[in-house]
Structure formats: structure tokens, C-alpha cells
Structure 1
Amino acid sequence: MRAIVISQYGGPETLTETELPDPRPGPGQLTIDTTHAAVGLVDVFARRGDLADHPGVPNPPFVPGLEVAGTVRELGPGVTGFEVGDPVVTLSQMSLGGYASVTLADPALVVGLKGSGVDPAQAVAALPNATTAHLSLTRIARLAEGERVLVHGAAGGLAATYPAVARALGASHVTGTVSSRRRVRDTDHLGFDEVITSDRFVPALESRPVDVVIDPVGGELRTASLNVLKPLGRVIVVGHAANTPDGPLSADRLWLDSVGVFGFSVGPFFQLHPEAARPAADTVVPLLANGALKLHLDILPLSEAAEAHRRLEAGHVPGRIVLTV
């Protein structure tokens, strides 16, 4: 099979195309003929070695890529619910392996698309992140009908899925923040009620606080979010795209304000609770099918994986980058 391998930790130049043996599914596994592979910040972190000590993340050489779309190639012993040729998309697999023409997958993290009408490029770009959004809003934030939500980094691939999912769960108002006015237009199609630059969100929202903050950015933005929370408000940490560390956080502040800060990392969560994956995904597939959720896509061939990483690290990608295989 064709594959992109991270030969050693370093810059995008460490991504090299090669030929590898086709993986064969063992008991409780299946393989996918990959047509599309999503590129995410986690792939960049893995390539740079930021996740070198993270349990379950392989050392070089390895094939990156958490999420793919394609068709079922082969079923391992004991796998039911799929047929060879079925169109499918995977959720976030910590086992990686997505930048390849054949991908080995855990069926618990595979979602069937047959009859859905969902484009595979949109599926791989949006469905895994929308599933993350659904789980973080229901399992962690416990979003209630009528609550107000603030989403940082609104133009990013994960944050972009929150307005549609939050609205479907009953949110009354969804605000986004972006790093500059130039990026506001990248969010026009996503369904935010308003989008504010991150240097203005505290004065803009202090008089109309929110119930839930979704933060994939981190840094000073994370600590500042406490200033716009209602009592019993929750900050949900779903990433750390910022190049700066978080500011100091006082537990006394949380106590006195009656607020909380929670974390949610979908890959490790699925490793412990794979049974939660497909039910959550099935609830958000209709949002892609009816057009309520649609991302801007930057589509490149597999051979340009290094260029995809360069664009992502530059921080100016609206939506998501998808590789075609």
C-alpha cells in the first residue's frame, strides 16, 4: 500500500511517501480502502514528538492519521454489522495509520455511511469532530436546554462543529471567538450567533455571561474565560492550539465563583469506552446529511502531506485539510 511515514521527529520534511505491506485484519478488526484522510493538529504534535511520552502513541517510524473515509476492504473474524464495499468513516483512532491507501480499524470506531448521502470528504472532516463536540457537550458539560455557549478558535476544524451540535442539543445562543477580524469571514457559514475577536470577548460578554465555554486554544484565553461564566458555568478544555502556556488558575477562584474547568480528550476516552463512539456519531450524521454542518475543506493529494502540515502549522486554515488517497 501507499503510505506516508514519519521517519523521525521533526518538521514537515520528515513525512515521506513509501510502499508498505497491506495490513490484514485480525479478530475483531476490519480494513478500509482509504479514499480520504483528515489532517489535524494531533498529527502535527505526533510528528514533532510532542506526544512521544503519551501512552499508545508509537515512536518513529509510523504512519500518522487518526481519521479516514473509504470503503470496507476486509472483515476480520467475528466482525458483524458491515459488508465489504460499505462506505464508512472512522472516528479518532489513537492507533493512527490514516495516511495510507489501506487502514486497519476497530469496528467500534467505524461509522457506516450507506444511504446517508454524506460526502466522504465532509464525513472525515466533520463527523469525528462533531462526535467529539456531542460527547463533550453531553457527557462533560451536561448542556441544558436554553443555555448559552462560547466557543474559542471558532474557525478551527473542531470548534467549527460546535454551533450545529450545540443548537441540536438545545443551546439558545452560540458565540465564537477568532484571533483577528480577518478570520471572522471564515465562520460565516457555521451558524454562530455572533463572532468576536479574542481580545474583546471579555468586555463584550461580561454583562451577558455564558453557561459553557469550549476551549481548544488555551493560553491566556483559558484563564480569561472564567470572567464570562455564570455561576455553575463550565469551561471544557478540548485542546491546546496556542503556543503559550495557560495562565495560573486558582482553585479558590473556582470555589468562590461556583464554576468548573473540565477536560475532554476523545482518543483516550474511546480507548476506555469504545461503546460510546458509534451512538454519539449516529446522532450527528443527520447534521451532515441535512446541511446543518458543512466545513470549508482544503483538499490535497496524499503525496502533499508535508504541505498540509506546513499550512496547518501556519495557523491560517479555515475548516480542515483532507488528503485524497
Structure 2
Amino acid sequence: MHAIRLYATGPAENLTYEEVPDPVPAEGQVRIDVRASGVHLMETMLRRGITVGPHAPPELPATPGAEVAGVVAALGPGVEAGWLGRRVVAQLDGNDGGYAEQAVTGVDSLHPLPDGLDDDLAVAAVTTGATAQGILRVAGITAGDTVLVMAAAGGLGSIFVQAARGAGAFVVAVAGGPAKVALVLGLGADVAVDNRDADWPAQVRGALGERAVSVVLDGVGGGPGRRALELLGPGGRFLLYGWATGEPTEISTKDLVERQLTATWAIGPNMVPAGGPRELAERALAAAADGTLVPLVTRFPLERAADAHTALEARATEGKVVLTV
């Protein structure tokens, strides 16, 4: 089979496409003929040798990739025969090995694919979609809210725009470039601004008039996240789930006290009341299958994984980045 291999941390060009031995499923595992593999921004950082929270760079050489969709092609000892030939999606054991034509994982990590759900959409839903489901439960968005979504054309942001609109909220989307602004308007945003314009916060204020932002969903951090925080009205809720800029949004106790704001790290233990990882994944897959939420996908063939990383780092993608086989 072919796989993407990383022998040294560094630039995207270090990801090489080569032939490797077929993996053999151990007891309790299956081998999947991969049709789609998900790519995360975090994987671009790990590739460069950067530790991200609890995630350390992989031991080298390595094949990146934490999630795949495809067909079960071989069974390890102890696995029920009924899994053979089934279409599945999974978050892989060890969170690696996904950028490949075949991957092995424990049977407990498998989700049967709902009928009619394409492999690439399943990959977008199983982790990114599940995380979105958990964050949305923490956010508790209602029809009375005015929701500002940062990175609104990204994998999580595009789901947040659709979900907030579905809840009846007024949605403000912040995205990078005219094409992405048009995209998020098409997803249902009431207002969309280009974060490449230095005066985008003033544009938001002008569009809202007397209306105040009551919820911010921020995975960008840094200066942009701070400017989003300053758009919150009294009693507003600020939910963080990452910092694509490389540093988290700066929030002080003074911000919280003087403006009666609430700030929450919206992933990890705070998601527990929304359901466990498996429950959230199943909820996201069902929503993708019935069209309640439609994940956006930017596709690259497996052999162009380096190009996928480069585009993701340059913020030149829309929605979830997926490698297709």
C-alpha cells in the first residue's frame, strides 16, 4: 500500500508519499481500506515539532492522521465476522496512521456509516463534528442570542454558523477573504465580514446597530480573539476552543467583572454533560446523514498531503480538509 511518511519534523515538504507494507490487524482490530482521511490544523503543528497541549510530536518515522472512513477489509482475531465488508468511520487508536491507503484500529473505535453518507463527510463529522456538538451544548445558543463566529468558514466555524442559524439566533460570521465571506452568507449568516479588513469590528458594530453580541465562539485567539471579546455586550458569553494564531485570547478578571462577562474553555471536561466522545460522534454522523448540518470539505488526493498541509496553514481551505484515496 501507499502511505504518507514523516522522517523529520519541519516544513510540509517533509511529508513523503511512498510504498510501505500492508498493516496487519492484531487481536480485536480490523484493517480498513481507506477512502478518506481527515487532516487537522494541530497535525501541521506536530509535523513542525511543536507540542500542542497534551499532544507531543510523534516518534519518527510516522504516518500522521487520526481519522479515516472506508471499508473493513480484514479482521484480527476475536473480531465478529459481521464487520467484514462494512463501511465505517473511526478515530484511530493512537491517533496516527490515517494518511494511508489502509489503516488498522480497534473494533471499539468503529462507527458504521449511515446509508447515503459519503466517506469524506463522515470523516468531517466523526471528530470535528462531534467536537462542534459538544461546544454547541456548552454554548446553549437560543433564538434570543446574537452569535459571533470566528473562522466561520473553517471546519468547526461552518458548523457553528449553521447550528446557530438553526437555533434561530442572529449570526455574525468573521471569515478571511471575499470568497469565504460569500460562503458563510450562503450558510445562513445574517452578517459576514472579512477579517483581512482592519476595521472589521467597526463593520460588525455598524451592521448590528443597537443589537449587542451575546455569544462569541473563538478558535482563533490572539489579537482577533481580543477584538471579538470587545464586541460582547454586558452579560455576554465568550467560548474558547483553540488559538489558531498561536496564542490564546487575552481575558482579564477586569473584563469579567466590569462587563459581567462569562468566559469558558469549551472543550474537554466542560463537554462531558453534552455526552461522551462516542455519543457526540454518533450525534454528528446522524446530523450529517440527515442534512441537519452539512460539513464543508476541501479535498486533496492522498499523494498531495503536503499540499493539504500548506493550504491549511495558509488558511486557503474551507471547512474540513480531507485526503481522498
Under a length normalisation based on structure 2, what TM-score does the superposition of the two structures give?
0.84
Indicate the residue corresponding to 2:218 in structure 1: 215
Structural mapping, 1:146-157, within 5 Å: 146-157=144-155
Assess, with a 3 A threshold, how the Cα gap between structure 1 residues 240 and 53 changes in structure 2: closer, same or farther: closer
Structure 1 residue 251, shift from structure 2 partner: 1.5
Please give the TM-score of this superposition, normalised by the length of structure 1. 0.84
Are 1:289 and 2:292 counterparts? no
Counterpart Cα distance in 1 of 2:81 and 2:10: 40
Distance 2:136 2:189 in 1: 16
Structure 1 residue 60: Cα displacement = 2.2
Say whether the 8 Å CA contact 1:29–1:75 is kept in structure 2: yes
The DSSP-based 3-state class of the residue aligned with 2:317 is coil
Judged with a 3 Å threshold, the aligned counterparts in structure 2 of structure 1 residues 242 and 134 are, in CA distance, closer, same or farther, namely: same
1:163 is aligned to 161
RMSD of aligned alpha carbons: 3.1
Q: Say whether 1:190 aligns with 2:187.
A: yes
User: 1:32–1:72: 8 Å Cα contact kept in structure 2?
Assistant: yes
Distance 1:108 1:213 in 2: 35
- Single out whichever of 9-18 and 283-292 deviates more from structure 2: 283-292
Residue by residue, what CA displacement relative to the aligned partner does 1:188-234 show, whole Å, maximum 9, x if unpaired? 43222321233423524573223321112111121222223244432
Partner in structure 1 of residue 238 of structure 2 = 235
Stretches of structure 1 lacking an aligned partner (at least 5 in a row)? none
The change in CA–CA distance for 1:206 and 1:48 in structure 2 (over 3 A counts) is farther
| Partner AA of 1:260 in structure 2 | T
For structure 2, the residue ranges without an aligned partner over 5 or more in a row are none
Deviations 1:271-298 (A, max 9, x none): x99x712222222334322334334543
Give the conservation status (yes or no) of the 8 Å contact 2:42–2:52: no
Give the Cα separation in 1 of the matches to 2:237 and 2:92: 24
> Is the 8 Å Cα contact of residues 15 and 305 (structure 2) preserved in structure 1?
yes
Corresponding residue number in structure 2 for 1:251: 253
Q: CA offset at residue 151 of structure 1? A: 0.8
User: One-letter code of the match for 1:157?
Assistant: G
Counterparts of 2:226 and 2:92, CA distance in 1: 28
Q: Residues of 2 paired with 1:35 and 1:124: CA distance?
A: 10
Q: 1:94 to 1:134 in 2, by over 3 A?
A: farther
Equivalent pairs: percent with the same residue? 34
Asked if the contact 2:114/2:286 (under 8 Å) is kept, the reply is no
Tell me which residue corresponds to 1:278.
278
In the alignment, residue 154 of structure 1 is paired with which amino acid? A
> For 1:56 and 1:78, how far apart are their aligned partners in 2?
32
